[in-house]
Amino acid sequence: MRVLAAMSGGVDSAVAAALAVEAGHDVVGVHMALSRNRDQFRTGSRGCCSIEDAGDARRAADVLGIPYYVWDLSERFEETVVADFLSEYEAGRTPNPCVRCNEHIKFEALLDKATALGFDAVATGHYAQIVTREVPVASGASDASVAEDGGPTSGMRLVRELHRSPNDAKDQSYVLAVAGPERLARAMFPLGGFASKDEVRAEAAKRGLSVSAKPDSYDICFVADGDTRGFLQSRLGSRPGSVVDTSGDVVGEHDGAYAFTVGQRRGLALGRPAADGRARYVVDVQPATNTVVVGPAELLSVDRIAGEKALWFDDVLPSVVEADGWFDAEVQVRAHGAPVPARVRSIAQVSDAYGDEERPPSGNGETDGSGPAMEIELTGTPLRGVAPGQSVVVYRGTRVLGQATVSRAWRAPASNI
């Protein structure tokens, strides 16, 4: 196959490209320039897309003997990922820019451009696995999946399942779920079977790749200094407002409600302690009044979630749904959070989800609530600090079943906390 290898300049993408070459594919390397103001060097493990990173990617491509190009996707990145990041925080929600980058850049802009140029697939250094299996062809069903080693047998179709990586510390299935089955049908994750980062570094060293000891990048790539609040203020400006407790009493001031997220404890700068001396957390962000509400930890626990813009993987629902529309699964609301048991169902829109006056929403951000959605009932320990805007991914074992963006979360009864 003709494969476009996305090369960030790090060790993961370099080894992924190497493995694609060694598998016999016709590979071309491409580095995505995502920043409009790239530095010559990045700061330790912070940031990415520097000129240094582009040079590291080029040297890796030279060692592998493959063509190499730099594609300027900075305008698309700014208009989608960065713009979404700003607008979501401004609306009192908590976005995950890595999810949006995978959705709009790596598995939309990059993949679409690769397809237009005649490539069969895009290879990346993500830690996740794609498992291909055959299932019976349902009446009227179409096959959007393509296997690397041939087509399905008669009366069957190929389904590509997204699964967790065996490397729990690096697993990226959570941020990949938003790509959906059709786009993942044209993706390759050569690192999917690696159980540790040390194994990947050893593979890089064995092949003479100079990035074998390069530190991992972390935090938000376009906030290289790690100061998210400072970045938001530089783009959105100062908007002074009040921090209030759950009784409505003013207990502090802030420079912009957009800089706070549900579950936050640090950086509140409260003028006076709670009457009972207990720690207080952000329990709601109200952009309409530019108000941040703080309260005790128990107000962060939720046991029901509604997610908008739901996306399901292929034949998942028909195979798992019970007669009442619900099915058992596990859900995860943070990239490296622990999955928790739940019952899940598909609903037409968020407004169909359960709610009552006894259990008000927790951190209810602004949302249109339209389009396909999902409702989640946690059947074990409540989750803490679930914020609108977060991605919620549904699993069964290691397999990804679906994904949505958190729209509302209902507080758990005190007896369940």
Angle at 263 between CA 398 and CA 374, to 5 degrees: 45
* Catalytic residue ranges: 101, 221
Q: What is the pLDDT of residue 65?
A: 97
Q: What is the pLDDT of residue 282?
A: 95
* Stretch (H or E) spanning 241: strand 241-244
For the chain, the straight-line distance linking the first and the last C-alpha, in angstroms and rounded, comes to: 53
Q: What is the pLDDT of residue 141?
A: 46
Cβ partners under 8 Å of residue 67, min gap 6: 28, 29, 61
Q: What is the pLDDT of residue 147?
A: 42
The DSSP annotation for 176-218 comes to HGGGHHHHHTTEE-TTTT---HHHHHHHHHHTT-GGGGPPPPB
pLDDT, tens digit only, all 417 positions of the chain: 999 999 999 999 999 999 999 999 999 999 999 876 555 444 544 455 677 889 999 999 999 999 999 999 999 999 999 999 999 999 999 999 999 999 999 999 999 999 999 999 999 999 999 998 877 776 544 444 444 455 666 677 778 899 999 999 999 999 999 998 889 889 999 999 999 999 999 999 999 999 999 988 766 888 877 889 999 999 999 999 999 999 999 999 999 999 999 999 988 888 777 888 889 999 999 999 999 999 999 999 999 999 999 999 866 666 677 778 899 999 999 998 999 999 999 988 888 776 544 455 555 544 555 678 999 999 998 999 899 999 999 999 999 999 999 999 998 875 454
Closest CA to 64 of 8, 109, 19: 19
Q: Parallel, antiparallel, or unpaired: how do β-strands 301-312 and 399-411 relate? A: antiparallel
Structure-token pair, residue 232: 């938001």
The DSSP call for residue 412 is P
As a whole number of Å, the CA-based R_g of the chain is 23
Structural domains of the chain in order of their starting residue, each with its CATH number: 2-128+164-213 (3.40.50.620), 238-295 (2.30.30), 300-416 (2.40.30.10)
3-state secondary structure of 352: helix
Phi-psi region of 267 (alpha: psi -120 to 50; beta: other; left: phi over 0): left
Q: What is the pLDDT of residue 140?
A: 46
* Alpha helices per DSSP H over 228-308: 228-236
